[in-house]
């Protein structure tokens, strides 16, 4: 398992992350087996959110492992807050909600601190001064070591960073071979193509410039929870053919190739795996340090239907 430095924190983290969004679908013994498989494969970074299973995923994670201080120190644990659900979902970045959310997260995880707290998606009613006050309380109390965001663009990041004293170290963003807007427009700059439309405000370059680690979620998705492109030969026949050939060359499962396509990028991104299947977790981890050539990386990209001028 390849490790990278999380932003400028000095934390050595696996570039493959176990995402815990669907953990509540498993029994306690199944959850333990999945987590232990991740640890055995070299994953030391675990991603949660208070909204995942309405807190049940965090609770099950701690219970399945029999969380202890010794075990806790072997892990880098991240969680997210800010999404609230009533009859519908909305966002709340108020100081009061952030502080209460972290207390709940720590209680469920049976932990005294989080390594990283992310704000979960943008809140249109965000008051950065309130967030800064909450972060200061959490950092000073030792409840949270580092802070970041998810799904935010450069201006949202810049506005927040103007007020918070702690460096924003991570931005969790959707990225896969078949969903790559943060890469697409940079390849076809100033061309009259749909691919050339700037949909991300150059978030990839912004994060690299400011040493913000990108955490790529849904690395196998062809859209927003529309299913995996792996095995979809109706819509992605050429991509699957190329992936299978490259997988055979490196003697890895096909699951490893989409992970390796992301980890090959020099931005040193992390890949968040959301699987609940032990074998798929193990197979995907083999993409952590897959030595794709430039030619292979671009061939994979093109075979997904993207344009290379």
- Tell me which residue of 283, 277, 282, 160 sits closest to 210, measured CA to CA: 160
Alpha-carbon span 183 to 204, nearest angstrom: 7
- The DSSP result for 41-108, as a single string, is TT--EEE--TTGGGGHHHHHHHHHHT--HHHHTT-EEEEEE-EEESSSEEE---HHHHHHHHHHHHHH
Nearest alpha carbon to residue 125 among 88, 103, 95: 95
**Vertex 175 angle, CA 256 and 286, to 5°:** 15
β-pairing, 76-81 vs 45-47, is parallel
Give 173's strand partners.
216
Short-list 89, 142, 143, CA closest to 120:
89
The angle formed by the CA atoms of residues 203, 239 and 267, to the nearest 5 degrees, is 25
How far apart CA 279 and CA 50 sit, in angstroms, is: 27
Q: What's the chain's length in residues?
A: 309
Decide if 168 contacts 282 (C-beta within 8 A).
no
d(CA 279, CA 296): 25
Q: Is 52 a catalytic residue?
A: yes
Angle at the Cα of 288 (from 282 to 289), degrees rounded to 5? 130
SS3 232: coil
Instruction: Please pick, among 52, 206, 236, 301, the residue that the annotation labels catalytic.
Output: 52
The span from the CA of 61 to the CA of 19, in Å, is: 11
The residues carrying an active-site annotation are: 52
């Amino acid at each position: 398992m390849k490790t990278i430095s999380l932003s400028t924190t000095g934390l050595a983290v696996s570039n493959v992350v176990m995402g815990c969004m669907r953990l509540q679908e498993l029994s306690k013994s199944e959850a333990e087996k999945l987590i232990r498989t991740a640890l055995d494969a070299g994953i030391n970074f675990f991603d949660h959110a208070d909204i995942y299973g309405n807190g049940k995923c965090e609770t099950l994670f701690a219970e399945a492992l029999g969380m202890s201080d010794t075990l806790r120190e072997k892990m880098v644990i991240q969680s997210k807050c800010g999404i609230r659900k009533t009859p519908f979902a909305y966002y709340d970045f108020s100081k009061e909600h952030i502080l209460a959310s972290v207390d709940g997260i720590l209680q469920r995880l049976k932990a005294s601190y989080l390594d990283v707290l992310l704000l979960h998606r943008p809140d249109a009613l965000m008051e950065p001064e309130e967030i800064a006050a909450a972060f200061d309380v959490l950092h000073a109390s030792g409840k949270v070591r580092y802070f970041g965001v998810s799904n935010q663009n450069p201006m949202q990041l810049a506005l927040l960073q103007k007020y918070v004293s702690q460096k924003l170290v991570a931005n969790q963003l959707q990225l896969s071979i078949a969903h790559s807007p943060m890469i697409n427009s940079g390849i076809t700059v100033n061309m009259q193509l749909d691919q050339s439309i700037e949909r991300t405000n150059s978030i990839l370059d912004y994060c690299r410039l400011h040493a913000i680690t990108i955490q790529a979620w849904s690395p196998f998705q062809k859209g927003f929870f529309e299913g995996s492109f792996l095995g979809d030969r109706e819509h992605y026949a050429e991509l699957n053919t190329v992936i299978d050939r490259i997988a055979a060359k490196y003697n890895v499962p096909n699951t490893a190739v989409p992970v390796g396509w992301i980890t090959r990028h020099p931005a040193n991104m992390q890949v968040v795996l959301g699987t609940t299947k032990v074998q798929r977790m193990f197979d995907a981890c083999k993409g952590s340090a897959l030595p794709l050539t430039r030619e292979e990386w671009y061939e994979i990209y093109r075979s997904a239907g993207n344009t290379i001028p």
